[in-house]
Amino acid sequence: MVHWWSRFDWDQMAADPQDKARDKEQDKTQDEDRGRCVDFPAGADFSDRREKDHQMTHILAIDQGTTSSRAILFTPDLTPIASAQEEFRQIYPHSGWVEHDPRDIWGSVASTSRAVLERAGLRAGDVAAIGITNQRETTLIWDARTGEPLANAIVWQDRRTAQICAMLKDQGHEEEVTRQTGLLLDPYFSATKVKWLLDQHPGAREAAKAGQLLFGTVDSYLIWKLTGGAVHATDATNAARTMLYDIREGCWSETLCALFDVPIEMLPEVRDCNGDFGVTRPDLFGQEIPILGVAGDQQAATIGQACLSPGMMKSTYGTGCFALLNTGTDMVPSRNRMLTTVAYQFDGEVTYALEGSIFVAGAVVQWLRDGLRMIREAGETQALAEQADAGQQVVMVPAFTGLGAPYWNAECRGAVFGLTRATGPAEMARAALESVGYQTRDLLDAMRDDWAAAGLADAGREDTVLRVDGGMTASGWTMQFLADILGAPVDRPAVLETTAKGVAWLAGWRAGLCPGPQDFAAQWASETRFEPGMDAATRDEKYAAWGRAVAAAQAF
């Protein structure tokens, strides 16, 4: 999608000399606040923005994902009315490296935000607030005055810092890292990516210490660009993915900053998800719009799915799959290599979650399409799976880039078991779709075990229903198999834009347009409930076959 407002123009505007003077003044304030956990007072009143000629009845959600940026306009009852999407370049400089050009990230966000307003026939004055949700962990460093990136962003999928992680593990640091952050010592998270960037650029660490270079995840970079460099901040969910943030204390960890050799001075302020993140530069949209909601995309989906009570779970099926279980104010440690993370932080109060990540979910369908050329469209897998021979037990382990939780086996590669001369596209498609169900069961079993070990199962708060979203939930067959193999109902909501909806609600809530958490949760509606239909013996037999297949793939 190409628009008449070029990316170049937007970046030119950011280099305005007047802005530099303003940046200088603001840098001073940022320096004073940096390193502390500063929140704006809850319930600040934004009603003075209301003008006679504008309705201010819409909320703009910016969803900056791994492969595309999207902007979606919502009404206060959280109905999406218009959207714009733009894919951007994926840069693979070496095997295992994945980068994004920060200019592409900003350019696509700027153009889709403008496009969606135009498409809906609205102006900035019609928008009460902006919410931002983003690919998490992806790491950016930029010049505190000009916004010029130090280098390309290192994307969450990038494995270049595997050796740094291995070395720190060998030195026995993983336990302390996990204790403070709830994460595992893995290149997935931001800390070793920041260290790598600072190591690669002579003088960068000193510049960062002097406040001349800033670090941020994508939300932070977008806030900085949208506010013209006025605000260098992030929210607690994104901070929790950096591996530099102490999720127990709710602030940057000095010991971890020292361990990863990251100057604390370059880190953003950490605010509530429903915090005040400043206002957009007036020249960007014609007038200022406040940014009043921020959350990492998987946490935003948890919020959008209204999983706001302990025991509630959501699972998002895009390229990969991310399942989050709300554990309330309890920080549940995992004995199954799940992640403990921040689900959200409202008005200074933190809610935690257990998270399981699968690297390949919808991507297995893409492989059938682009790799095997077995199908032309993802949706064709449904009819194929329905035709598959019930007598054949074909099991696919789609470990194309290793196995995620709970195995965390980076070396494992994919495998297909049970092939016969009679095996054809139908059985392969069924095996591909089933692999998503089996992997989800792995995650849920592990999280339930952690939940029980923490003594929470006895509290009777566990919700046995799984709420699902993401592109792959379009496959009714897959969702039915998921319910069957879990032996639990699966709910697909009426509004599938749950990630954007989550931050639209955050921003709308803070702006006074949307109801508070309880009423918002009560409005959540299921479109389809998939009830488990498989008998227990078949379920057990199939899941046991999956277990054998994973073990064999790992042993290969």
Ligand X SMILES: Nc1ncnc2c1ncn2[C@@H]1O[C@H](COP(=O)(O)OP(=O)(O)O)[C@@H](O)[C@H]1O
The annotated binding site for ADP is made up of 66, 70, 319, 362, 471
Out of ligand G3P, ligand X, none, which partner does residue 297 contact, by CB within 5 to 8 A per kind?
ligand G3P
Q: CB-wise, 105 or 482, nearer to ligand G3P?
A: 105
472 binds, among ligand G3P, ligand X, none (CB under 5 to 8 A by kind): ligand X
Residue nearest ligand X, Cβ-based: 471
CB 34 within 8 A of CB 265: yes
The neighbour count for residue 254, using CB atoms within 10 Å, is: 12
Contacted by 247, from ligand X, ligand G3P, none: CB < 5 to 8 Å by type: none
Torsions phi, psi of 66, nearest 5?
-70, -35
Per partner kind, with CB cut-offs from 5 to 8 A, the member of ligand X, ligand G3P, none near residue 475 is: ligand X
Site for ligand X in 331-370 (CB under 6 A): 362-363, 365-366
Q: Which residues bind to ligand G3P, rule: CB under 6 A? A: 65-66, 135-137, 156, 296-298, 318-319
Give the C-alpha separation, 105 to 64, whole Å: 8
68/287 with CB nearer ligand G3P = 68
CB nearer to ligand G3P: pick between 156 and 215 = 156
**Among ligand X, ligand G3P, none, residue 379 binds (CB under 5-8 Å by kind):** ligand X
Of 126 and 137, nearer to ligand X (C-beta) is: 137
Q: Which CB, 122 or 500, lies closer to ligand G3P?
A: 500
The entry of ligand G3P, ligand X, none that residue 19 binds, CB within 5 to 8 Å by partner kind: none
Residue 223 three-state SS: helix
Q: Interface with ligand X includes 471 (CB under 6 A)?
A: yes
Q: Annotated binding site for sn-glycerol 3-phosphate: which residue ranges?
A: 66, 136-137, 188, 297
Shortest Cβ 243–ligand G3P spacing (Å): 13
β-pairing, 313-317 vs 321-328, is antiparallel
Shortest separation between residue 298's beta carbon and ligand G3P, angstroms: 5
535 contact partners, CB below 8 Å, separation of at least 6: none
Among 67, 255, 518, 523, binds ligand X (CB under 6 A): 67
Annotated binding site for glycerol: 136-137, 188, 297-298
If DSSP codes are grouped into helix, strand and coil, which group holds residue 235? strand
Binding residues for ATP: 66-68, 319, 362, 366, 471
In the complex with ligand X, the residue whose CB is nearer, 207 or 222, is: 222
Alpha-carbon distances of 223 from 87, 269, 289, 495, rounded to whole Å: 20, 12, 12, 26
The residue (of 3 and 369) whose beta carbon lies closer to ligand X is 369
Q: How far is the CB of 65 from ligand G3P (least distance, A)?
A: 4
Is the Cβ of residue 465 or residue 474 nearer to ligand X in the bound state?
A: 474
Partner whose footprint covers residue 506, from ligand X, ligand G3P, none (CB < 5 to 8 Å by kind): none
C-beta separation of 69 from 85 below 8 A: yes
Which one, of 415, 386, 367, lies nearest residue 477 by Cα?
A: 386
* β-pairing verdict for 466-469 and 68-74: unpaired
Select the residue interacting with ligand X from 474, 521, 534, 545 (CB under 6 A). Answer: 474
- In whole angstroms, the minimum distance from the beta carbon of 217 to ligand X comes to 17
- CA–CA distance, 139 with 277 (Å, rounded to integer): 19
Query: Residues 6 or more apart from 174 whose CB is under 8 A from it?
Result: 168, 184, 185
Place of tokens 């639209």: 504
The minimum distance between CB 522 and ligand X, in angstroms, equals 26
Q: Which does 136 bind (CB under 5 to 8 A by kind): ligand X, ligand G3P, none?
A: ligand G3P
Residue type, 498: T
Give the residue from 108, 54, 511 showing the smallest Cα distance to 290. Answer: 511
Contact letters for ligand X, residues 374-413 (x by CB under 6 A)? ----xx-x--------------------------------
237 backbone dihedrals φ, ψ, rounded to 5°: -70, -40
Q: Measured from the CB atom, is 30 or 135 closer to ligand G3P?
A: 135
DSSP string, 244-304: -EETTTTEE-HHHHHHTT--GGGSPEEE-TTS---B--HHHHSS--BEEEEEEHHHHHHHH
Cα separation, 10 vs 474, whole angstroms:
36
Binding-site residues sit at 66-68, 70, 136-137, 188, 297-298, 319, 362, 366, 471
Minimum distance from CB of 477 to ligand G3P (Å)? 22
Considering the complex, state which of residue 270 and residue 483 has its C-beta at the smaller distance from ligand X. Answer: 483
Q: Does 487 engage in binding with ligand X (CB under 6 A)? A: no
260-273: buried (b, 16+ CB within 10 Å) or exposed (e) per residue?
bebbbbbbbbbbbb
- Our separate counts of H helices and E strands in the chain read 19, 22
| Alpha-carbon torsion (157, 162, 164, 165), positive or negative | positive
CB of 8 to ligand G3P, least distance (A): 26
Options 30, 152, 180, 475; binder of ligand X; rule CB under 6 A:
475
DSSP string, 488-502: S-EEEES---HHHHH
Residues that bind ligand X (CB under 6 A): 65, 67, 318-319, 362-363, 365-366, 378-379, 381, 470-472, 474-475
